[in-house]
Structure 1
Amino acid sequence: MNVLIIEDEKLTSQRLETLLHRYDPTIHVLAQLPSVTKTLHWFKENQYPKPDLLFLDIHLEDDLGFRIIEELKLTTPVIFTTAYNEYMLQAFKVNSIDYLLKPIDADELAAALEKFQLLWQNKPSQSVENNVSALLQFLEKSSSTTYKDRFMVTIGTKLRSIKTQDIAYFSFEDKITLLTTHEGLRLSVDYSLEKLAQLLDPHQFFRINRSFLVALSAIHTVHTYSGGKLKVDLEPAPRQEIFVSGDRITSFKEWMGK
């Protein structure tokens, strides 16, 4: 079976390929692609072999994963991967499209693959393309209230799921994005701060400058200086003093007052 993984979280993509090979060593992963643009290019350049099954993330680097199905008029069966909550998942159930909740569980993956083999291998998909428009409409209406609620990170040789509510802030240091928990644990994540700002609830997280995206719950004190300059004390304390960028001061004050 030929599989295509379309996922912008590198750790998730790698874990998925590992679990697929553990389930069936003969499964061939044609590619791991992080964006709509790169996926469209891949299909243009790679006509054969065609994938028998897609694993498709909802939010990719540059757009919604559903756009790929729209653009290519795909009828290839899809298993969606998502980090969203139950009311969002209900949309997939209603439309009879399978999904995996991140972090991906081996048993749930096996069940999804067995469902694929039972329902799809003996007949072409008739419902995927027809359901995409409805799913897009639902997602666009719901996206303003649906945000990432956990992150999968690597600690040594282990994978761990970190709840968003346990994160104090994200920082960009030495070309690496780090998350810092309220307990002071610092872990690297495979996201840019720009991407994180899209995925997180803007009522709870604010990009105060080019290097820090902070949770409201992590702000201990805000100091004012002459000229309107703002310094932010965070808990746990970062390794340097943190100031709000001048062009963000007004919006930061509005955010703090909500």
Structure 2
Amino acid sequence: MTLVASGGILAEQRAVLAFNVIQLEHAEAIVSGAEAANRPVILQISENAARYHGGLAPITLATLELARRSAVDVAVHLDHAEDEALVLEAVELGATSVMFDAATLPYDENVARTAVIARAAQAKGVWVEAELGAIGGKGGAHTPGVRTDPAEAVAFVEATGVDGLAVAVGSSHAMTSRSASLDFALIAELAAAVPVPLVLHGSSGVSDADLVRAVEHGMRKINISTHINGIFTRRIRELLDADAALVDPRKYLGPARDAVALEVQRLLELVA
């Protein structure tokens, strides 16, 4: 068990959780949690995370190495990349899947640019995700209340040739409360119509019970970021508040990493 293709995991599992990596401790925690749950997992690196590290290579290469050393199957995914050059760089670095996000563009331009990226990445054996029906919480077209039209989703997949589709069904990015209201009837309708795996973004705002229901209704890839960031940050805050003399980062980053690992394990077991 090691670094594997994202498409392979999705083909073998009813649903797969994908957690975002911001720094090395995130990647270590996610892999540790997956090993404890004995479940495959996807590690995601966003365009914003690459920018934070001054480039895609440092955090991606470290994450890929952790995946290779894992005792369970781990895939590495580029999340929410709007820059084609970054997508192609991720492919060359060894990412096993990529998301090209042109959802804020006019439909025809989204289709044209996504199709080009899909062909280029798939030629290297890389699974490609795209977005239609913008997810809430990102500004502009990404406004709460947007819903993906099933007929348009089918047409988009056919025109672009993508392997997975992120759909808008009631979740929003960066939610700090787990209070999103998902449209389960729409999820089921999309799952029946769309010939590729459906991806749920903004899953940090979705309750445990609704995550399970989303999978039961047809969601295949579940993206989680803000939720584990909150756990990580709260554990650090507890430790620093308790000891004003604490200066060794390992003494607060380590426990924060452990807290995230436990939550990753719990969530993976929840949707198993």
User: In which range does the TM-score fall when normalised by the shorter chain?
Assistant: under 0.3
Larger strand share, 1 or 2: 1
Larger radius of gyration: 1
Which TM-score applies when normalising by structure 2? 0.26
Greater relative contact order (CA < 8 Å, ≥ 6 in sequence): 2
